[in-house]
Structure formats: structure tokens, C-alpha cells
Chains A and B, each alone.
Chain A
């Protein structure tokens, strides 16, 4: 019967035929081997049954481009409390700063832009936790004795570069404070006096609200700093302001993205020439995040594009007739209310002379804890001329938010950088910032820039350290319900 036959077969196959001194086949030892193996197998099975299943998201793991490298540095952000507030809340001579608390991390916008006209760009930051707009000036590096520093400052390592002996120096200029939830700062010589003024879009509340709490505030550059003046109030939450001479009268008008919540719209602030502005609503749609201005139809005047979110999920164009009268057109719409439009920028991606648009999709903040969706990423709205735009998803990144267009790899074409606010960061290998490589206007490859810091909302590009290479700056906006490391502003210096 069979048991012995089987054993015989096993022996034959394994050729483990051992003879003892009497030349008899030593089958029992084979049985021992088999029993031993079975023992092992069962032990492994038992062990495996105790191992928790590996449950990670199926997000493909990205790798870095072999020839494009950055060094990551963190910009030191100081706590800012206006003196007036400290005095107001001071109790029994206990210093206000004694209240042990830290700011929430809520950077809403970062840009690399020259605000003081010295030819060196600053990092301009809107911070909706300190309610400030601040310019950070990069001042190069200095050598330090890190061991000496650590004796007095345990956090000194946070400030030093990778070789452990060089510190990056920054100066900062406070443009304005007491701005409740500034969303964007627009640098423009609004009064045409030869210096750069700053127009700040203020939400009035970061959290969803349909109340009339937004403002547009002008910080007019004067000799002693900036003179502050509110240009628009009694509107819903304002997310963006852009500019242009829309009515061809020689002065600078403004266009305002009123995000609101369920109600919002696009408002023109017509410059009346005497420092005053007349407001005119030109479309009413909720959730207008950005209003990039460009001559989209190449007819010589400035048109406006607007991204509509909050369930509608559309991109509109407002075609200018040259006199400041606008005809609305829908360039893009999707029935997918869940795409979560995060922003819109104008850039001639294919460099054909027609201004294209890049729209990010990935805001899923309606859930306290979001999950990356297959449609999160970047949509390229390619301008084909005559107000025809073709849409194509060119990047995939869960929780995509800010987008920037720049030549990342220095090959002369326009690549795209994306940051993610709500990727699946429970898995530390998932990226928070990536770039899409333009290869003949195809974006088939996306490369990792970094996995940390996480929860990034805004990104800007420019030559921060003056070495002629394009660096990347990103701002963190910590989701209120998740625990991640704080790192408000991060610069990736191109090597």
C-alpha cells in the first residue's frame, strides 16, 4: 500500500538513499526528514497566521530622477503676536507669551518673487495661523560650529545644511498682520509709481463659511514701509486677486476671486483713477479659487480664467472685449463633483504661443480624513486657439493641491511640480511633492522630489539662492485632525 510506496517514491526522487552496515535501506531517516520538514512548515503557517496583513495603499512608489537633485532646507518661521493683542489679553502682569501654545501650521500661499526691486527674489508667504504676510530674504550661508551651537540650542540641527556645518541665513519683512486668514498676496505696482505694492486676499475664516467676511487689502509701498488700505469688504471669502488694465484706460484694475462657500463669484475692481475702485460682479459661482489673467485668445487684451469648485467643478473664461466687458465661457466641466479643484495657473506648457491652464484636483477636505482618489492630480487644459481647450490628466498624485510650471530639468521645456495635501501619509513612502517631466509635450514620467514634509498646499518656483538654478518652495497646511511633523516652509535648493 501506499504509505510505503509514497515514501519509496520520495526517497527515489530525493535520492536520499542511505544504507546501514547491513546494507538495508534506511527509510526511517527519510521519514524523520519529512516529519522535520512538516514541523517547520506548520510552524511557519502558525507564525504567518499571527502576522497582521500588510495593508498599504496601492499607490505606486515613485523614485527620484537620477540627474535632478535638490537639498531640502527649512525656513525658520517665528511666532507672531501683535503687541496690541498681548496687551489686551495680559492678566495680572503675567506675560502673555507665558501661555504655552504653538501656532497651528497653516501656510496658504508661497511665491518666489522680487518684492523690493533689488533683483533678488524673496519668498513671499501668506500664513493663516499668524494672520500675516511676510517676505523672507535669503542671505546665503554661514559656517557654524554645530557642537558649540548644540550646547545652547538643542534645535540647532534643524537650521543646518546637510554637511552639518553650514547654516542658511534668512531675514524677514512683515508686510502686514491682523489679516484674518490671508489666502494670497499679489505683487503689483497698482498705483504705477515705480515700486511694488502688495494686494492681499483675505478669507476672513479658513473654515467653510458663507458669511460676508472677505476683504481685499492694499499694502501700498511708501518710503517708510507699506501703507494699508482696505479696497473691498462686505464680500464673501476672498481667495485671490489678480490685475491688469482690463478697460484699456491706462491704469491697473483688479479682478477678485470670491471663494465664499456656497456663494461666490468673480468681481472686477475698476480703478477709477483717483485711488478709488468700483466693484462689479461679473459671474456668480461658488468656490472661485484662482483667477489667472492672460490674453487667452491672443487678441491683444487681457482675459480672465476662473476655477469654480464646491461641487460645480468647472473652469470658466471671461473674454474681454477690450473695454472691460466680459463674456463668460465654460472651458471645462466635469460631473465628478468630488474632484476637489485646488487651483488654476496659466502657463504656456507646450510653448506654442497660446496660454494654457493647469488645474489641480485633490481637495477632499470635506472629509476630516481624506483618501487619495484615482482622479487626483493635474489637468492640462491645452489651448488650441479660438477658445477651444482640450483637457488631459497629465499627473497623478493623491490629494494634489498646489501646482507650478517651470523647467525643472533644465532641458528648455516646461515641466510641472505638484504638492499634495492629503495623500495617504499613514504610509511614509508616499510622496508629498513630485514633478512631471515634459518629454515632447507628453508627461509620461513623474518623479519623486520628497516624501517629507507632508500636507503641502502651496508651491512656488524661482531662484531663491541666486545661483541661476530654479529652486522650489512649498508651504505646509496641517489638516486639523491629523498628526504630522510641522515644517511650515520648505525650500528645495537645486543642486
Chain B
């Protein structure tokens, strides 16, 4: 053997060894994935890259975990690749199989997703309900109503599945069956807004079950209930958990815990880290956390700095003005606090819906401390009205009536106070009082459409 051939042979052997090592490292011929994280915020980008670097290619769990993270961030080809690699390494547990199915479903490979999830649905595993629900939903996405019904029924007493089933039954003109499903749901959860709402739609469907009165009763009930179930399968909770366990959210959770424990400095430093980790993005919730931490730490000026940024990023909100008032009050500037809270009364709160009631309560207190009883009385009444609306919203109609009645003593020229009082009285079948309240509302605004309808219903 010539020297050159000997050298080549050595190289071949070395290459085979390298290939073997890489095969071992990769747990196969294919390399691990490096995902397209360019659209993620800094913290999540770093966390994903770390997961990729730490990946044990021989571990099914690692591939599945990475696949689940990719699924959360909609890096779907990467996610599917991970699940495939996991499946090639050995048998997946039912939970892992379910996650694989979720990935395929979101990727739009719906029929394959159903095949993957089916063994979970047919098992005794605690995920079986969710798997049946998932398959039901996937059949709905394929517009295959018959199969969808079968699996939604198999999901059993699961409110999300039941509401979807009721929708299918109404569309199938099997309204009586739909009403039975919805009545069962309402019996278990009288505050289920969606069940009341769908029951109203069921009764307005033309056919043997058509009943205008029942439809209206259910519609009315839906107006003062707050159980807000929409299609929100388990996998979305998993998304939330995944995101909460990495990047900025980890620091923000630490900040919240520190705040609860009274460790304000730590709450602030963890919050600052969280804000760095969401760069270049922005999250109003994080600003609110920083404002709360600074206010708790007696640093109103710093809190106002975050309030300014929040206002510029996202625009005004009642909660923002409420916190601005708190900050100014902490600084001893009552005039600015009053101005901020008054601005808060001019707009409606949404997520932090109690903010409207709170700014009125704070104005009441402020005016009391200033000895301005007239203004204090007015804002106490507004606080009662706003609190009454919250009680009405949450199906506490009796409490609402008490508060609206108190408010109406002072705010007799406000049509909305009379309208909500009338609606509450009608909900409790007090037709005489309701009639009077509707009439007072209509005296103030003869074109109040909902009061006109309400009055017609009690007359």
C-alpha cells in the first residue's frame, strides 16, 4: 500500500469516526434544529437559543419540550420537526402524543393531528376529555359536523365542548336537543353568559321550538351574567405556562411575588430586568407592575415616569389616571390628583373595570378631606352607580338595585342611573318600580331605545 493510499484510508476511517460521533450527537443523521427566532422579543429569543443549545438529542422529553415551546411561538415547521424526532426515538407518552397532535393541528395538518390524538381520546388518561374536545374542534375546522358532534359528546360535561355542541345542534335544526344541553349547563353554572345567550338564539330559531318570550328571558339573563367561556382549549393554557416560565415573564413573576412579600426594592429590580427582556417590545401590564412597585416603595416620581411612557405607548385609560392620581396624592399635590381622577371619570375602564368606581371613591374621599361636602356627595353617588353596574354585570341584581337606588337620590338627572335601576327591577319582576324608573329615564331622554323596549316589556 502506497503512502498516499494509506493516508487516504486513515482519513476515511477518521471521517467514519466523526460521522459516528455526529450521529451519536444528533441522535440520527439529521442535525438539531436552529429556529427562526428573529420575531421574538429578546428574553424569549435568548431562552429559546439556550434550550436549543442544551438539547439532549437522545431525550424524548427534551425534543417534546422544545417542540412545545416552538408551538407556542408558532414556529410550526420547527415544532413538527422536534415532535417527529421525539417519535423516532421511541414511544411517546399520551401527553406527549397529545402535544404532537396540538402542534399538527395548529400547523394546519388537521387530519393527521386527529390520527395522532385519537389514542389519547380513547384512553382513560385525564387528558381524554381534552383530546375528545380537540378532535371535535378539528372536525369542525374540516367542516365535518357529524364527526365533530360525536367527539364533542364524548368530551362529556365540559362547558366549552357543550357550547360548541349546542351551536352544531342549532344549525342542524335539532334545537330541542341544544336547549337540553344548554339547560344542563345553566343548572350547573347560572352565571354562564354564553349559555344564556345561546339559549336565546335557540328559541329564536324558526321551527317547533320557536318561543319569543323564552328567547327574550334568556337574552335578558345574558345581559347580567359574566361567565365568559369561549373556545379556549387546554393547549392555550399551556402556551401561557410556557411563556410564563421563560424570558421576561420569569422576572415579572419574581417581581410580583416580591411585591406581595413587601420586598419593594427587589420588585423594582426584577421588573426592570423584565422590561429589558421584552425589548424592543412594550407591555402595559409590565408598566403597571412597575408603577405599583414604585408607589409601594414611596417613589411617586418614578411611578409617574412609567405612567408617562404607558400613556405615550398605549393612550389613556381610567386605570392610568387612577394611578396617576395616586402618585400625585403621594407627592402631596391634591390639585393634580383631582385633575387626574376627574379625567379618569370621563372615560370607561375595560379590563380593570373597577377603576371607574375607584376614581369616584377617591374623589369622594378627597373632597371630604377638603371639606367640600357637595362634591363629595356627588362622587359618592357616582361611586354607588359604578359599583352597582359591577354588581349588575356579575349577576348580583339585588345588590345592584340597592346601589342604583342610593345613586338615584343624588343623580336624579342622569338617565343611565334610572335605566339601570329599571333593568334591575325588571330582572326581579318588580314591574311597577321598573315602569316608574323607565319613565324617569325617558323623561330625561325620550329616545333612549333600550328604555323604550324595557318599558314595553313591563307594560
**Residue positions of A touching B, CB distance < 8 A:** 28, 31-32, 35-36, 38-39, 42-43, 45-46, 49-53, 55-57, 79, 81, 84-85, 88-89, 91-92, 96, 99-104, 128-131, 178, 180-181, 204-205, 207, 209-213, 234, 261-263, 267, 272, 276-281, 284, 310-312, 333-338, 366-375, 424-427, 480-484
Contacts and interface: CB of A to CB of B under 8 A. Distances in A.
Given A207-B350, A278-B448, 18 more contacts: A38-B12, A39-B11, A39-B15, A55-B33, A55-B35, A55-B78, A84-B343, A88-B321, A89-B324, A104-B314, A204-B350, A211-B348, A263-B222, A281-B450, A311-B167, A337-B140, A483-B280, A483-B281
Given A211-B353, A337-B137, A372-B108, A102 B5 contact: no
B261 interface: no
17 contacts: A32-B2, A32-B4, A32-B8, A35-B8, A35-B12, A39-B8, A50-B31, A57-B76, A99-B312, A131-B316, A211-B348, A211-B393, A262-B193, A263-B197, A336-B143, A426-B36, A484-B39
B449 A278 contact: yes
A89 B280 CA distance: 24
Given A35-B12, A55-B33, A28 B5 contact: yes
B39 A426 contact: yes
B231 A53 contact: no
Contact of B32 (A52, A204, A335, A371): A52
Interface in B331-383: 336, 339-340, 343, 347-351, 353
Contacts of A32: 2, 4-5, 8
A425 B19 CA distance: 35
B197 A338 contact: no
B74 interface: yes
Contacts of B210: none
B141 to A, nearest CB: 5
B15 A369 contact: no
B356 to A, nearest CB: 10
Count class of interface residues, chain B: 35 or more
A490 B22 CA distance: 48
Contacts of B31: 49-53
Contact of A367 (B39, B236, B450): B236
Contacts of A52: 31-34
Interface stretch (B181-189, B303-311, B426-434): B303-311
B447 A180 contact: no
Interface in B62-82: 72-78, 81
Given A209-B350, A262-B194, A337-B137, A180 B317 contact: yes
Given A213-B348, A337-B164, A371-B107, A178 B316 contact: yes
A172 to B, nearest CB: 18
A335 B449 contact: no
Given A39-B12, A91-B304, A480-B281, A210 B228 contact: yes
B63 to A, nearest CB: 13
B19 A49 contact: yes
Interface of B: 2, 4-5, 8-9, 11-12, 15-16, 18-19, 22-23, 26, 29-36, 38-41, 72-78, 81, 106-108, 137, 140-143, 145, 148, 164, 167-168, 171, 193-194, 197, 200, 219, 222-223, 226, 228, 230-232, 236, 239, 243, 280-283, 301, 304-305, 307-309, 311-317, 321, 324, 336, 339-340, 343, 347-351, 353, 389, 393, 416, 447-450, 452-453
Contact of B301 (A38, A84, A91): A91
B313 A483 contact: no
A371 B76 contact: yes
Contacts of B351: 205, 207, 209
A481 B351 CA distance: 19
A426 B38 contact: yes
Closest A-B pairs by Cβ, 4 of them: A369-B74, A279-B449, A99-B308, A55-B77
Contacts of B140: 335-338
A89 B107 contact: no
Contact of A337 (B231, B243, B282): B231
Contacts of A367: 74, 106, 236, 239
A351 B282 CA distance: 47
A310 B230 contact: yes
Contacts of B30: 49, 53
Contact of A35 (B9, B36, B171, B339): B9
Contacts of B452: 278
Contacts of A101: 282, 308-309, 312-313
Contacts of A55: 33, 35-36, 75, 77-78, 81
B230 A311 contact: yes
Given A88-B336, A207-B350, A368-B243, A56 B15 contact: no
Contacts of A85: 311, 316
Contacts of A333: 171
Contact of B313 (A102, A178, A234, A284): A102
Nearest to A374: B108
Contacts of B232: 366
Nearest to B306: A99
Contacts of B393: 211
Nearest to A482: B39
B416 A46 contact: no
Contact of B106 (A46, A276, A371, A427): A371
Contact of B283 (A280, A312, A372, A480): A480
B248 to A, nearest CB: 11
A78 to B, nearest CB: 13
Contacts of B316: 85, 131, 178, 180
Contacts of B308: 89, 96, 99, 101
A425 B381 CA distance: 52
Contact of B19 (A36, A45, A212): A45
A178 B316 CA distance: 8
A355 B23 CA distance: 63
B236 A42 contact: no
A88 B15 contact: no
Contacts of A372: 108
Nearest to A41: B15
Nearest to A311: B231
A263 B193 contact: yes
B343 to A, nearest CB: 6
Contacts of B339: 88
Contacts of A91: 301, 304-305
A102 to B, nearest CB: 7
